[in-house]
Structures are given as C-alpha cells and as structure tokens.
A and B are shown apart, each in its own frame.
Chain A
Amino acid sequence: MNRIARPLQALAAVLAGLAAVLTANLAPAREIAADLSSHQIQITAGFDGAELLLFGHDARAGSVIVIVRGPPKAVSVRQKERVAGIWMNQSAVTFSQAPGFYYVAVTDDLRKDGTLEAIMSGAGLGTRYLGLRQDNNAADSKQIEAFRSALIEIMARSALYAREPGAITMRPDGLFRTTVPFPSTTPVGAYTVTVYHVEGGTPVAGATTPLLVNKAGFGAWLYDFAHDEPALYGVVAILVALGAGWFGGWAFRR
C-alpha cells in the first residue's frame, strides 16, 4: 500500500504546486474584466454606423489600453504617378494582413509627454506599430514605409483606423468605460477587443472579448444570393429591371 501511496502523494503535491504557480500567473489577468454592451453589430438596410459601450473593472484602477481589431485583409496600396501628363497608378505594395478596423483607447494618465508613444511602440500596438507586412520585397524599405503610412492615412480618413486614441474614463474604484465608434463602412467579420493594463511601461493583455459584425436582414440575404448563385442573381436583376421599366412606362402612359 505504502509503495503505491507514496508516489501518489508526491504526484498530488506536485500537482498542487503546479496549480498554485498557474493561478499565481493567471491572477493579474483576473484583476481586469471587461465586456461590451453588445457582441454583435448587425448591418441592416438603415445602417449608418454604430457605437458600442465597452465597460470593465480594473482592480488596481491603473493605466488601461483598449484595442479593437477588425478582420485582417489583404490590401493593395497603389501610388499615382505622372506619365505623359496623366496621373495613373504606377507602383503598388500589398499588405496581406491589414486589419479592416483598428481602434485604440487609453486612460488619461497615459497621455503624458511621450510615454504613450514609447509604451505603444514597445508592444506593437497602435496603427503605426502594427507591423504591417508587405508581400513583395522588391521595393526598398523607405518606399514601403510611404505606402504603409498611406494605407493608415486612407483608413483613418474613412474612420476605420483611429487617428488619435480615444478616452477611457477610469473611476477611482476601478470601474472604467469607453465608447467605440464604428463608421458606416465598417467591414464584416470577427473582431477582437483586448484590454491591456500597463505595468512598468509594458502593456499586459488582460481581458479579451469577441465582437461579430455581420450583415442582417434583406441586405444579407441579397449579398449571399449574389455570391452563392451569381448567374441566377444576374437573371433576377434583369427581370426586376425589366418589370420596373415596363411598369414605369405603363403607369405614366395613363
């Protein structure tokens, strides 16, 4: 009996120790919790952008960064150059993993001179430090940098990338909140919302919560129809227009 019991006891002790270590490591992650007012944005016929409330609790009431990432996409950036007096697309660089949406919000205490820049660049957070990778290595790094900034600028113009971090309101008791704005051009797909708390100048991922943007209603049905049965959709488009034209002529002839 003893011969079996002893190793078992040892194993139990090891397991207990492991558990203690694991929970100790996980403990800081548990100190921060966050949720969204809704985990789904539905793009319906009247969709003109949306705003979600992100709220949470940080046990330390410390510095917090929120990042909302949209679904990654391959995006080609093209540059117009003058050829024979006409401006036309010449060089192009493709970034294979550019997020379709990127939003940053920070607590006020992080906005001190230069600290935010240092924290974000160190952790690869924020559009400028996304580390967007290009597909073709032909262009030199300086040129690629120009294309990368152009991509960020264009996305920022349509409010898909945050130009300046938004504000997180942190209460002394550790409750915090921020609103995340989504423009009318918000791409569909799976989003992730990550809340980081900054410890000694390093953001540590705390809570993560998912968000799904999808088309709904008639628009979604039509989109699926157009992509699943393109030939039939084409025929329907023709018939609908024929019917409408015939009806229009008939209605006004009387």
Chain B
Amino acid sequence: MHIYLPIAEISVDIFVLLGMGAAVGMLSGLFGVGGGFLMTPLLMFIGVPPAVAVGSGTNQLIATSVTGVIAQWRRRAVDFKMGMVLLAGGVVGSTGGVFLFQFLQGLGRIDLVIGLSYVVFLGGVGGLMFLESLRALLRKRRGVARRGKLHRHTWVHGLPFKMRFHKSRLYVSALLPLTVGAFVGVLAAIMGVGGGFIMVPAMIYLIGMPTSVVAGTSLFQILFVVANVTFMQAWLNQTVDIVLALTLLVGSIVGVQIGARLGGKLPSEQFRVLLAIIVLATAGKLFFDLVAPPSFPFSITETLPQ
C-alpha cells in the first residue's frame, strides 16, 4: 500500500516507513539513543530528498524526545539549569546550521557535507565506543575494577564565566556547555539527528556531569533543538513533511516499547558493543558511498528559475 508524501513529493510503501520507524524505535528503546543517525540515511536511501529527510527526521525526533523527557523528569533526572545553558548554545548552533544547510544546498554540496559529517562523527564516536566497551568487557572478565581519580583539573576548569549547577554538583564555566550545545546544534541541523551520540560523551567527559542526569538533561536540550530545527526548516525551506514524520512515529512508538522490554534481558556491556557495531556499520556504509566510484556520476536537482 502506497502513501503519497505531500512535501517530499514521492510515493512510498507505507509498510516500509512503518518498519523503518519500528526498527529505529527499537534501537532507541534498547540503547536510549534517538536513532536520528540511522533514520536520516535510511530516508535518503529510499529516495526522500536530503532536505526533507533532515527536516522530517527532526520533526519525528520531537516526539521521541518528549516521551523520554517526561519519563526522565518523573525520575528527577533533568538538570534544568544545565539544560538551559546547553540549549542557549543549541538554538544558536541549530539556527546557524539550517542557514548553512540552505547555503550548501545551493552549492550542490549538501550531500557531500552530510556524508562527511556522518563518516567523521559516527565513525569517531562509534570507534571510541567500541574500544571503550571492549575494554569494559575485558575488565569484567578479569574481574579487576580500577578506580580513576575523582577530580581531574584540566584547562577546562580555567575558563571564565563560571556558573554553579546544583543538580550536577558542578562549578564550571558556562562557555563549556554553550559551546557543546552550539556544536551539537549545527550537527542536528545538518545531519538530521538529535545529537545525543555527541552530547552524552561530551557531557560526561568534557563537562564532567554525573551520569545519572546526563540522559535526562541531553534529552531536554535535544527536544528544544530538534523543535528549533523543525521550525527553521519548515519556515525557510518548506522541507518538513508531517505525513512522513507521523508515519515514522507510529512505527517508532511501538518499536521503542519492544526495544525497552528486550533491553532488560541483555547485559549492558555486550549491549554497548552491539550499539558501537551498528554505529560503525552506518559510518562504514556512508564512507563506502563517498569513496566508491558511483555507478552513475550524474544527479539532477530542480532549481528555481532565476
């Protein structure tokens, strides 16, 4: 059964969309990631134009992150102050990112930049995650628990404009979360992702937040960043397809529940190796697409008459 997507202007099998939503949703449920990094490339693969894939992907992410934020908020695991500072950066970054997207699209370079961003960031994070989780697995086998230093003083702590974050028990420069937020905002606009895969490690290793509030706080900021990207893409480029977003959503709501239930049955270390492999495979596929000689080197885009 086909469904015509009015903004993407293509007709797609509705079950393909529901299946994609369910598969990515299952991943979200299993690993607590948004799954945008898989959704956007998948949408482009089935023929959705890149701009519509990014715009509608972020629209769908609003729904997944609001579900997550409500759950985390009930557990009181959201540092709102930190979230607001991250968000201030995120709004600036994602707004700039949407303009950058529009500019690159005009140059015919957007596919390349999307591809490169995926390879660099997914490949990097996936690689680190893979090594980290392997090391954790080995440590567990050996049964040795090494304890790290509680506080390490680095250049990060010498930055000005220090702020106190009670919930995170931190006293750090506001510049740090601002920069992290802005950077992830740009990625959100260009890659059509929430950016959790960058945000979470940055919060833990760079800002030094306790892991208990990391997921809730990153979801809180992602919610507003993806809402901003959705608005900007709709307003500037008219590339948000509500029909596409809602269809994906129906699949993902079900998928998340299945994933969350499966999640309880796997040990967490093996789990992270699995996620790392999925992330690396996505990056690998996009890397291959960039370096392999294309079967047909030409592409067309409709341009507005001058």
User: Is B125 interfacial (CB 8 A cutoff)?
Assistant: no
Q: How many Å lie between the Cα of A85 and that of B4 in the bound state?
A: 38
Name A83's closest neighbour in chain B (CB-CB). B112
Q: How many Å lie between the Cα of A132 and that of B295 in the bound state?
A: 24
Provide the residues of chain B in CB contact with A45, threshold 8 Å.
Answer: 3-4, 243
Q: Is A87 a contact of B297 with CB atoms below 8 Å?
A: yes
Q: Is A75 a contact of B6 with CB atoms below 8 Å?
A: no
Q: Is A78 a contact of B298 with CB atoms below 8 Å?
A: yes
Of residues 7 through 65 on chain B, the ones whose CB sits less than 8 Å from some CB of chain A are 7, 9-11, 59-60, 62-65
Name B7's closest neighbour in chain A (CB-CB). A226
Interface residues of B (CB under 8 A from A): 1-4, 6-7, 9-11, 59-60, 62-67, 70-71, 108-109, 111-112, 116, 227, 230-236, 238, 240, 242-243, 245-246, 249, 253, 256-257, 290-294, 296-306
The distance from the CB of A214 to the nearest CB of chain B, in whole angstroms, is 12
Name B289's closest neighbour in chain A (CB-CB). A87
Q: Is B243 a contact of A248 with CB atoms below 8 Å?
A: no
Interface residues of A (CB under 8 A from B): 43-49, 73-82, 85-89, 92, 94, 96, 135, 147, 150-151, 153-155, 184-185, 187, 215, 218-220, 222-223, 226-227, 230-231, 233-238, 240-242, 244-246, 248-249, 251-252
The distance from the CB of A205 to the nearest CB of chain B, in whole angstroms, is 26
Q: How many Å lie between the Cα of A117 and that of B71 in the bound state?
A: 68
Q: How many Å lie between the Cα of A227 and that of B291 in the bound state?
A: 37
Q: How many Å lie between the Cα of A92 and that of B302 in the bound state?
A: 12
Given A44-B4, A233-B240, A237-B59, answer yes or no on A184-B305 (Cβ-Cβ < 8 Å).
no
Q: Is A46 a contact of B3 with CB atoms below 8 Å?
A: yes
Provide the residues of chain B in CB contact with A230, threshold 8 Å.
Answer: 234-236, 238
Q: Which of A79, A234, A248 contacts B234 (CB 8 A)?
A: A234
Q: Is A244 a contact of B302 with CB atoms below 8 Å?
A: no
The distance from the CB of A69 to the nearest CB of chain B, in whole angstroms, is 17
List 15 interface pairs A-B (beta carbons < 8 Å), by A numbering. Answer: A75-B302, A76-B300, A79-B297, A80-B294, A80-B298, A154-B300, A184-B2, A185-B10, A219-B243, A234-B233, A238-B231, A241-B230, A241-B245, A245-B66, A248-B253
Provide the residues of chain A in CB contact with B62, threshold 8 Å.
Answer: 238, 241-242, 245
| Residue among B62, B71, B298, B299 with the highest chain A CB neighbour number at 10 A | B298
Q: Is B299 a contact of A88 with CB atoms below 8 Å?
A: no
Name B233's closest neighbour in chain A (CB-CB). A234
Provide the residues of chain A in CB contact with B6, threshold 8 Å.
Answer: 215, 218-220, 222-223, 226
Provide the residues of chain B in CB contact with A80, threshold 8 Å.
Answer: 294, 297-299
Q: Is B7 a contact of A245 with CB atoms below 8 Å?
A: no
Q: How many Å lie between the Cα of A151 and that of B111 in the bound state?
A: 19
Q: Which of B109, B292, B303 contacts A94 (CB 8 A)?
A: B303
Provide the residues of chain A in CB contact with B112, threshold 8 Å.
Answer: 86, 88-89
Q: Is B63 a contact of A48 with CB atoms below 8 Å?
A: no
Q: Is B2 a contact of A48 with CB atoms below 8 Å?
A: yes
Name A146's closest neighbour in chain B (CB-CB). B298
Name A253's closest neighbour in chain B (CB-CB). B71
Excluding A89-B111, A94-B303, A248-B249, 6 further A-B contacts by CB distance (< 8 Å) are: A43-B4, A45-B4, A85-B291, A86-B291, A184-B2, A219-B6
Q: Which of B63, B235, B253, B303 contacts A74 (CB 8 A)?
A: B303
The distance from the CB of A109 to the nearest CB of chain B, in whole angstroms, is 35
Q: Is A242 a contact of B246 with CB atoms below 8 Å?
A: no
Q: Which of A48, A74, A220 contacts B11 (CB 8 A)?
A: A48
Given A233-B240, A240-B242, A244-B63, answer yes or no on A89-B299 (Cβ-Cβ < 8 Å).
yes
The distance from the CB of A213 to the nearest CB of chain B, in whole angstroms, is 12
Given A80-B294, A237-B245, A244-B63, answer yes or no on A88-B240 (Cβ-Cβ < 8 Å).
no
Provide the residues of chain A in CB contact with B70, threshold 8 Å.
Answer: 246, 249
| Residue among B6, B245, B257, B290 with the highest chain A CB neighbour number at 10 A | B6
Q: Is B60 a contact of A47 with CB atoms below 8 Å?
A: no
